[in-house]
C-alpha cells in the first residue's frame, strides 16, 4: 500500500502483502480505508536526501522539471478526476517560494486542484516518528468542494509515516471522493 520495497524489508515486519505500518493504519477504524494506495517514484537514500534538500529548502525549482518526467512515466495510463498537491502553510510557502508538489504537477502538464489548505505547524522533518503518526488534523478543505464519486490523486514529496497523506485522504473521502491514491517522489 505504501510503496515500501519488500526486498529491503525482513518478513517479520510484514503481514502478507502489507508492511506493519500499513497494517496498523488499516486496523485502526479512524483511518481504515481512506488512502487506497501510495506509489513512490524513488527510494529515499543519501543521494535523494541531498537532491530533496536542494529542491525543497534551497529553492532549486528546475528539479521540478526533472521530477515531472518521472511523474509522467509512472502515472502513464492512470485515470483521475483531480490531482491535489499536498499544500504548504502560508508561512512555509513564503519560506520556500513555491509548493514542490504543485510544481511537479504543473511541469508534468497536469492541472493542480487546490482544494486543501494547511494549518501552520512545526516542520515535519523536526518531528519524531511518533509525533508524525499522532498529528492532529492539519488540513482544511474548501467548504464548496463536492467530490462525490471522484477519483483523487494526492501528490507529495516524501512518504515517511503516511500521516500527512492519510490526513488529507480522510478529508477528501469525507467530502465524497470515491477513491484517493497518492504519489510521492520518495519512500
| CATH 3.40.50.2020 holds for 34-186 | yes
Q: What is the mean pLDDT of residues 175-179?
A: 96
High-pLDDT (> 70) share of the chain, %: 93
Where does 12-99 have alpha helices with state H? 20-27, 46-56, 62-74, 90-96
Q: List, for residues 12-24, the tens digit of each pLDDT value.
A: 888 888 999 999 9
Instruction: Quote the DSSP letter at residue 23.
Output: H
* pLDDT (0 to 100) of residue 8: 78
pLDDT tens-digit map of 29-83: 999 999 999 999 999 999 999 999 999 999 999 999 999 999 999 999 999 999 9
- Model confidence, pTM: 0.90
What is the average pLDDT score of the chain? 91
Euclidean distance between CA atoms 124 and 28, whole angstroms: 22
Q: Of the candidates 66, 31, 43, which has an alpha carbon nearest to the alpha carbon of residue 164?
A: 31
Is the CB of residue 15 less than 8 Å from the CB of residue 23?
A: yes
Rounded CA-CA distance 81/93 in Å is: 26
d(CA 63, CA 55): 6
- More confident site: 131 or 182: 182
Amino acid at each position: 500500500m505504501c510503496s515500501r520495497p519488500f526486498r529491503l524489508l525482513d518478513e517479520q515486519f510484514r503481514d502478507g502483502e502489507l508492511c506493519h505500518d500499513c497494517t496498523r493504519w488499516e486496523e485502526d477504524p479512524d483511518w481504515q480505508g481512506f488512502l487506497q494506495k501510495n506509489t513512490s517514484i524513488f527510494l529515499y537514500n543519501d543521494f535523494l536526501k541531498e537532491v530533496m534538500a536542494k529542491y525543497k529548502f534551497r529553492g532549486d525549482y528546475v528539479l521540478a522539471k526533472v521530477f515531472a518526467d518521472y511523474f509522467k512515466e509512472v502515472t502513464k495510463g492512470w485515470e483521475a478526476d483531480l490531482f491535489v498537491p499536498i499544500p504548504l502553510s502560508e508561512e512555509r510557502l513564503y519560506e520556500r517560494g513555491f509548493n514542490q508538489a504543485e510544481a511537479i504537477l504543473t511541469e508534468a502538464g497536469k492541472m493542480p486542484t487546490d482544494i486543501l489548505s494547511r494549518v501552520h505547524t512545526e516542520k515535519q522533518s523536526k518531528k519524531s516518528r511518533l509525533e508524525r503518526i499522532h498529528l492532529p488534523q492539519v488540513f482544511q478543505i474548501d467548504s464548496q468542494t463536492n467530490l462525490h464519486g471522484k477519483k483523487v490523486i494526492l501528490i507529495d514529496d516524501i512518504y515517511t509515516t503516511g500521516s500527512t497523506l492519510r490526513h488529507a485522504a480522510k478529508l477528501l473521502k469525507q467530502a465524497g471522493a470515491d477513491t484517493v491514491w497518492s504519489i510521492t517522489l520518495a519512500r
